[in-house]
Amino acid sequence: KKATYVISACLAGVPCRYDGRDNLVPELKALVEDGKAVTICPECLGGLEIPRKPCEIRVVKGERKVYNVKNEDLTNAFEKGAQKALSLARKAGARLAVLKAKSPSCGCGCVYDGSFHKKLVPGNGITAELFLQNGLSVMTEQAWLTQKIKEESIMEKKINLGIVFGGQ
């Protein structure tokens, strides 16, 4: 059976964040438990440890690089992790990715600017960008939750209408 989604592992409750914590979204964990999703943590797949120093993307001479807060260049680990995450997603047959917002790996739409001052700029994390380039749909957990609520309310309205019409 193929999985529909590939999900950032921290969103499914895995404590793989740089600070050893998770970003649990119970609805996403449930998808994994139902076999509808596989999890990836690109930073762990790239060989980085838990815990690790926080990292941000910086543009250097036109190239996107990833540095930790001690100014060590970890671009290679991030790129290796992204490639591994992509092959796991492909192996599972997933076409949709729900990835943790703002992360230098998983962020989609905006990421921190490399100054470590919590300043966001438009852009995608290294893995989110690779997924998009390879035809996967990528959304943040917040966008996914908003869409889920919208779909559920449409469904609820349909059910209510069905009851109304059914009673007449």
- Locate tokens 């889920």: which residue? 148
Residues in binding contact with ligand SF4, number by CB under 6 A: 12
Applying CB under 6 A, among 42, 55, 97, 111 the residue interacting with ligand SF4 is: 42
105 contributes a contact to ligand SF4 by CB under 6 A: yes
For the bound state, the minimum distance from the C-beta of residue 81 to ligand SF4, rounded and expressed in Å, comes to: 7
One of 29, 64, 84, 100 touching ligand SF4 (CB under 6 A): 100
Site for ligand SF4 in 53-92 (CB under 6 A): none
Under a CB-based contact definition with an 8 Å cutoff, are residues 118 and 144 in contact? Answer: no
**Cβ within 8 Å of residue 5, ≥6 positions away:** 31, 36, 37, 38, 94, 96, 97, 98
Taking CB under 6 A as the rule, does residue 103 contact ligand SF4?
A: yes
C-alpha dist (Å) from residue 138 to 6, 11, 27, 80, 133: 9, 14, 17, 19, 10
Among 3, 5, 6, 17, binds ligand SF4 (CB under 6 A): 17
- Between CA 121 and CA 15 the distance in angstroms is 26
Residues in touch with ligand SF4 (CB under 6 A): 8-10, 16-17, 41-43, 100, 103, 105-106
